[in-house]
């Protein structure tokens, strides 16, 4: 007969009885206790057929192509905008003085008129006139140099062929030995700033000796807009 454990008390007896009364935890509803086959679950999922998958792939590829095309178009437009902005800045720098330069043209014309108005005999006989003329010529050269420094060029088309883009016909005259359309006189010098016309040169041109007197100055295109 086993002797009772002296260290065993009534509290321990109650714990043992409680442990014997514990029942297994109930399983979730619908669980039979068998292992679940993971591959069996795939039978309940709707998988696309091969044709549907191809259609989806083709749709995605078309969407990708459209997105790439839109992106390339946006990049091209941004590049064109950048180039236009750069050209506008360049033109603004180049033609910013157009109005100021045009206002100085009359001043430049007066210098030239002063040079041509002095009789040749006075230049040769009077030293004072010669000194004055030298000073005026120096001022005219300095003004022209300042124009050129800022992109303004003077047009002196004597003995050149008439060009309606840069010249304006003021008269025609039959000149033996001169081909029709050759500039025989520059009444007023023209000016360009960069590649733009600031003012056309006003000229007289030779007329065909057999011409009945047609006036090229009245033909369309013989004069151009000088506004910038």
Tokens of 50: 């091969």
Given a contact cutoff of 8 angstroms between Cβ atoms, the answer to whether 166 and 174 are in contact is: no
For 4, 6, 8, 30, 83, the CA distances from 1, given in Å and listed in that order, are 9, 15, 17, 50, 110
Given a contact cutoff of 8 angstroms between Cβ atoms, the answer to whether 203 and 187 are in contact is: yes
Strand partners, 168: 202
For residue 9, the Cα-to-chain-centroid distance in whole angstroms is: 100
Q: pLDDT above 70 covers what percent of the chain?
A: 71
Domain 154-218 class, CATH top level: mainly beta
pLDDT at position 96, please?
74
Give 174-219 as a DSSP string. E-TT--TTBEEEEEE-EEEETTEEEEPEEEEEEE-TTS----GGGS
For residue 104, the Cα-to-chain-centroid distance in whole angstroms is: 31
**pLDDT under 70: residue ranges of the chain:** 1-48, 210-228
Give 113-166 as a DSSP string. HHHHHS-HHHHHH-HHHHHHHHHHHHHHHHHHHHHHHTTEEEE--TTSBP-TTT
β-pair type (152-155, 190-193): antiparallel
pLDDT at position 225, please?
41
Summarize pLDDT for 179-215 with one digit per residue, the tens. Answer: 899 999 998 889 998 788 889 999 999 988 764 444 4
Dist. CA 113–CA 119, nearest whole Å: 12
Q: What count of other Cβ atoms lies within 10 Å of the Cβ of residue 33? A: 5
Tokens of 189: 């010098």
Q: Where are the domains of the chain?
A: 98-150, 154-218
pLDDT at position 215, please?
45
């Amino acid at each position: 007969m086993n002797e009772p454990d002296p260290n065993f008390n009534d509290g321990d007896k109650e714990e043992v009885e409680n442990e014997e009364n514990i029942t297994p935890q109930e399983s979730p509803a619908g669980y039979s206790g068998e292992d679940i086959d993971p591959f069996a679950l795939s039978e309940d999922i709707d998988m696309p057929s091969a044709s549907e998958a191809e259609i989806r792939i083709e749709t995605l590829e078309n969407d990708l192509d459209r997105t790439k095309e839109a992106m390339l178009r946006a990049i091209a437009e941004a590049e064109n905008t950048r180039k236009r902005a750069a050209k506008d800045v360049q033109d603004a720098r180049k033609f910013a003085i157009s109005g100021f330069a045009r206002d100085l043209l009359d001043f430049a014309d007066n210098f030239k008129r002063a040079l041509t108005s002095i009789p040749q005999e006075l230049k040769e006989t009077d030293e004072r006139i010669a000194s004055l003329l030298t000073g005026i010529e120096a001022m005219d050269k300095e003004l022209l140099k300042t124009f050129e420094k800022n992109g303004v060029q003077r047009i002196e088309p004597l003995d050149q062929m008439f060009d309606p883009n840069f010249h304006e016909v003021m008269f025609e005259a039959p000149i033996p030995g001169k081909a029709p359309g050759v500039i025989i006189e520059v009444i007023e010098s023209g000016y360009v700033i960069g590649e733009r016309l600031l003012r056309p040169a006003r000229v007289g041109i030779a007329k065909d000796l057999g011409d009945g007197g047609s006036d090229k100055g009245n033909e369309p295109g013989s004069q151009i807009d000088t506004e910038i």
